[in-house]
């Protein structure tokens, strides 16, 4: 069968090239493609290194190409009277259909191959992401398969080639238009979603983003299979033309109908498999993080994400709009029927502009646009609205973009981390909307409090009183939980198997009061819901209110509707980190702490230590014990404290964490990292113009501002995956001991380029007179330096076997 099919396909191809038909069709297709790409889509004025316009117009171009190629396939055979010879030949109707199909598809593939010089040329002009290009060609091939199958069926139904061309173009055009915005904008959300599922154009756009979805690919396969089956049935009917109807004929009708129904119905079944997809884009731009998916899973009401983008905007913002459109499309896919995404241009819709301004405070922003001949101001929209229930957040261009100026003439505008900004806004809406509910309202599963306590007589007196207060707190929480809070109390001292389990899984061991009282006892608390387990730390005050607060803080870690608490240690209570505080305000609850009492706040989920200097033993002990309790600790430290006044000077610092970090196989360099791949520093310079002294600011390369991009950021880690570029000024290098961390997972997050080196000098002011290229002498020992690392695993306390610092008097 395969041999006969290939012979028919080769015959079809030879028939095209035997005349000028193939050259005319291919030439017209290529000319139309070039005209659309360079003239209609104005490639050079767009100033974007992509080939999106090529694939934006590809469905329409393929409609006319395929209609022209298929119009003669069967119609010419019928007109010339050769169809009877084919149907009575040893070659079966199925082989004839497949042969014709493959022959025409061969010509379509040649046509698509002729367009390959376009993306290749663009890749030399700029940084081209080949993922959407590959996706675009795959989409073009599967769409062409569907169009060819439609064209063959239509050609088999008529002897007139012109009729075949018109009907094929009409049917293919209907499939393309049915899911387009021109149609879906006329109906409601739900109807629009169904139309997009039926439309060939909307599916095509999904693939050209660089995301291969099994549902989209099968959609085209189902159309191809159904129309090929109808084509086969049409040929069978021609064979029956002069025969009386028989039961075999009816069986053909029923089999074809059954096959077509099952092929189309499988599309509905595949809609329940959203995970069968591959992101081909560089950096996996359209792979949403698990945190975003978890946030969308919490939605109980419809979420509206509406993008307000003007068609006429600043030329540096224009390339970012398609990226945001594609990203928001991923939110629609991940959120299902709970997430509705819209894109509007308020300047073309006065009612929407009035609503945006009056209800949401969204107004156009004036951008200055300069060309060779004139400077003008363009008022345009670049905003995203996230509305949930009666809550809404607005993201402006300031929330979405970064402006990076490498020199006076080299300005680059790029997206910050749009997924983080959008998801943070969704979470803020979600939390505000749910704020009226109780602690247990958003729990997905009941939680169980596990108390591992020794018998009352074996506990110290303070803990005996604490146990009484704890029982009262547990009783009160159970009454408020509505059956979602359970209590389990066990004595590990009387159950060796349980004690071994706690030691193995949690690192819990019997405690002693002091070196003078070695009587062991157990007093640990955890919460679990069957999938997640959290340790409940003992609060500083062991009264009912404090114990209840500690338990409720742990319950919030199981409730998606509550913010996590971030305890932050920093000099002067974070006065130098107000921007960071504002940035994190929508995602975490910031709580300052000085750790002087040797404890991290009991309701803290994470601890961030910023610029530690001269930490005492109690403060180090607080960090250590929080880590032992299963908390997450983030430390940002530098070997030098930098001051910028008349000059730039660095002073060696003592964090107080050096020995503690060394115990976990971590050490920080004494010098700072310099890199030829660096950011710019504004340097003042005076110029004398005819006796007039002008003060100017020039941006020059400054190797102490390390520029991290591309492979410098770990693309496999969710922490750095979606970050485009990071500047790390005056940073040290981290060394990780492989031996000390043999049992832990070590993840490198940030790494400088191979042209970086270390320098331990107090003078950080560049000297461009002596070193005109970098301002500093180039290093001799260059190589990549680790700047940020994450350790995961089990840790042993640095204070194990030592007296507790809490027993000593506190330092004033």
Highest mean pLDDT, choosing among 339-343, 693-697, 745-749: 745-749
Give me the pLDDT at residue 38, please. Answer: 82
Q: What percent of the chain has pLDDT over 70?
A: 86
Three-state DSSP at 573 gives: helix
Place 310 in a pLDDT band, splitting at 50, 70 and 90: confident
Place 780 in a pLDDT band, splitting at 50, 70 and 90: confident
pLDDT tens sequence across 196-245 = 778 888 788 878 878 888 888 999 999 999 999 998 888 887 777 656 55
Q: What percent of the chain has pLDDT over 90?
A: 26
pLDDT tens sequence across 234-278 = 888 777 765 655 666 677 778 888 888 888 888 888 877 767 778
Place 138 in a pLDDT band, splitting at 50, 70 and 90: very high
pLDDT mean over 170-179 = 89
Question: CA 752, 758, 761, 764: dihedral to nearest 10 degrees?
Answer: -20
pLDDT tens sequence across 579-618 = 787 677 656 778 889 998 888 987 788 999 999 989 999 9
User: What is the CB neighbour count within 10 angstroms for residue 672?
Assistant: 23
Give me the pLDDT at residue 438, please. Answer: 62
**Which has more confidence, 78 or 261?**
261
- Where in the sequence of the chain do the CATH 3.40.30.10 domains occur? 290-434
Highest mean pLDDT, choosing among 126-135, 407-416, 626-635: 626-635
* CA separation for the pair 598, 810 (Å, rounded): 9
* CA separation for the pair 143, 294 (Å, rounded): 34
Residue 336 has pLDDT above 90, yes or no: no
Give me the pLDDT at residue 637, please. Answer: 92
User: What is the CB neighbour count within 10 angstroms for residue 734?
Assistant: 20
pLDDT tens sequence across 357-382 = 888 888 888 876 655 555 666 788 88
Place 751 in a pLDDT band, splitting at 50, 70 and 90: very high
Long-range contacts of 712-717 (CB under 8 A, 24+ apart): 712/750, 712/751, 712/752, 712/753, 713/749, 713/750, 714/747, 714/748, 714/749, 714/750, 714/751, 715/283, 715/284, 717/747, 717/749, 717/790
Highest mean pLDDT, choosing among 427-441, 642-656, 658-672: 658-672
pLDDT mean over 633-658 = 88
Place 132 in a pLDDT band, splitting at 50, 70 and 90: confident
pTM over 0.85: no
Place 177 in a pLDDT band, splitting at 50, 70 and 90: confident
What CATH topology corresponds to 290-434? Glutaredoxin (3.40.30)
* CA separation for the pair 8, 141 (Å, rounded): 21
pLDDT mean over 633-638 = 94
Residue 189 has pLDDT above 60, yes or no: no
H runs (alpha helix) in 336-450? 350-360, 397-400, 418-434
**Which has more confidence, 497 or 87?**
497
**Which has more confidence, 550 or 138?**
138
**Which has more confidence, 793 or 80?**
793
CA 812 to each of CA 107, 185, 809: distance values in angstroms, whole numbers, following the listed order: 85, 68, 9
Q: Which residues pair with 366 in a beta bridge?
A: 379
Residue 33 has pLDDT above 60, yes or no: yes
The per-residue pLDDT of the chain, averaged, comes to 83
- Angle between helical axes of 320-335 and 418-434 (0-180°, round to 10): 40
Give me the pLDDT at residue 791, please. Answer: 94
Residue 407 has pLDDT above 60, yes or no: no
Place 775 in a pLDDT band, splitting at 50, 70 and 90: confident
Give me the pLDDT at residue 688, please. Answer: 64
Give me the pLDDT at residue 575, please. Answer: 62
Give me the pLDDT at residue 482, please. Answer: 85
pLDDT mean over 417-438 = 76
Place 434 in a pLDDT band, splitting at 50, 70 and 90: low
Phi, psi angle pair for 140, to nearest 5°: -65, -40
Both tokens assigned to 696? 């100017």
* CA separation for the pair 575, 653 (Å, rounded): 19
């Amino acid at each position: 069968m395969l041999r006969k099919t290939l012979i028919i396909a080769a015959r079809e191809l030879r028939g095209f090239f035997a005349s000028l038909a193939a050259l005319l069709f291919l030439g017209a297709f290529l000319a139309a493609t070039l005209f659309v790409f360079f003239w209609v889509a104005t490639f050079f004025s767009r100033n974007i290194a992509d080939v999106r316009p090529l694939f934006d117009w590809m469905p329409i171009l393929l409609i006319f190409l395929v209609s022209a190629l298929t119009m003669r396939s069967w119609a010419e055979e019928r007109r010339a009277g050769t169809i009877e010879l084919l149907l009575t030949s040893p070659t079966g109707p199925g082989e004839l259909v497949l042969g014709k199909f493959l022959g025409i598809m061969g010509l379509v593939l040649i046509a698509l191959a002729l367009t390959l010089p376009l993306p290749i040329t663009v890749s030399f002009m700029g940084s081209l992401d080949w993922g959407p290009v590959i996706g675009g060609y795959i989409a073009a091939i599967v769409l062409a398969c569907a169009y060819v199958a439609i064209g063959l069926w239509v050609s088999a139904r008529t002897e007139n080639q012109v009729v075949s061309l018109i009907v094929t173009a009409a049917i293919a055009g209907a499939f393309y238009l049915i899911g387009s915005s021109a149609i879906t904008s006329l109906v409601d959300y739900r109807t629009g979603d169904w139309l997009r599922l039926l439309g060939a154009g909307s599916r095509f756009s999904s693939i050209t983003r660089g995301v291969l979805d099994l549902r989209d690919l099968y959609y085209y396969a189902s159309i191809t299979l159904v129309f090929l089956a109808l084509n086969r049935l049409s040929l069978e009917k021609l064979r029956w033309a002069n025969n009386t109807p028989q039961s075999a004929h009816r069986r053909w009708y029923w089999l074809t109908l059954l096959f077509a129904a099952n092929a189309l119905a499988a599309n509905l079944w595949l809609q329940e498999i959203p995970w069968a997809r591959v992101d081909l884009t560089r950096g996996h731009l359209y792979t949403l993080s698990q945190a975003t998916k978890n946030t969308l899973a919490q939605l109980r009401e419809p979420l509206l994400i509406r993008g307000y983008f003007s068609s006429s905007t600043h030329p540096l913002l224009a390339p970012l709009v398609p990226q945001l459109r594609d990203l928001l499309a991923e939110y629609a896919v991940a959120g299902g029927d709970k997430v509705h995404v819209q894109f509007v241009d308020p300047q073309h819709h006065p009612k929407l502009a009035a609503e945006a301004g009056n209800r949401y405070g969204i107004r156009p922003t004036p951008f200055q646009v300069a060309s060779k001949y004139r400077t003008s101001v363009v008022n345009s929209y670049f905003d995203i609205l996230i509305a949930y229930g009666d809550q809404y957040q607005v993201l402006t261009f300031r929330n979405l973009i970064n402006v990076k100026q490498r020199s006076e003439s080299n300005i680059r505008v790029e997206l910050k981390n749009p997924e983080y900004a959008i998801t943070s806004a969704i979470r803020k809406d979600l939390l505000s909307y749910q704020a009226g509910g109780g602690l247990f309202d958003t729990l997905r599963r009941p939680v169980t409090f596990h108390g591992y306590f020794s018998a009352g007589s074996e506990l110290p007196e303070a803990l005996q009183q604490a146990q009484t207060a704890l029982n009262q707190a547990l009783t009160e929480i159970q009454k408020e939980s509505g059956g979602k809070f359970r209590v389990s109390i066990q004595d590990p001292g009387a159950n060796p198997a349980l004690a071994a389990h706690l030691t193995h899984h949690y690192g819990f061991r019997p405690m002693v009061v002091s070196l003078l009282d070695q009587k062991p006892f157990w007093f640990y608390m955890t919460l679990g819901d069957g999938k997640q387990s959290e340790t409940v730390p003992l609060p500083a005050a062991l009264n009912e209110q404090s114990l209840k607060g500690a338990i409720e803080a742990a319950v919030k870690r199981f409730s998606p509707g509550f913010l996590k608490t971030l305890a932050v240690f920093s000099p002067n209570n974070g006065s130098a980190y107000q921007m960071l505080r504002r940035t994190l305000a929508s995602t975490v609850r910031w709580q300052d702490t000085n750790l002087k009492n040797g404890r991290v706040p009991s309701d803290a989920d994470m601890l961030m230590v910023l610029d530690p200097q001269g930490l005492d033993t109690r403060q180090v002990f607080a960090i250590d014990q929080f880590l032992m309790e299963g908390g997450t600790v983030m430390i940002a430290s530098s070997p030098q404290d930098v001051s910028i006044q008349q000059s730039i000077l660095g002073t060696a610092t003592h964090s107080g964490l050096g020995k503690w970090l060394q115990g976990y196989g971590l050490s920080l360099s004494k010098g700072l990292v310099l890199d030829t791949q660096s950011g710019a520093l504004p340097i003042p310079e005076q110029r004398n113009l005819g006796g007039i002294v002008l003060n100017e600011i020039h941006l020059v390369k400054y190797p102490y501002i390390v520029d991290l991009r591309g492979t410098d950021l770990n693309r496999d880690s969710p922490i750095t995956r979606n970050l485009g570029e990071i500047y790390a000024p005056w940073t040290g290098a981290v060394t990780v001991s492989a031996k000390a961390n043999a049992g832990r997972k070590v993840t490198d997050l940030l790494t400088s380029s191979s042209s970086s080196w270390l320098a331990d000098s107090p003078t950080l002011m560049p000297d461009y007179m002596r070193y005109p290229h970098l301002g500093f002498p180039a290093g001799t020992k260059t190589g990549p330096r680790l700047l940020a690392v994450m350790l995961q695993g089990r840790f042993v306390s640095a204070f194990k076997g030592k007296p507790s610092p809490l027993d000593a008097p506190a330092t004033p």
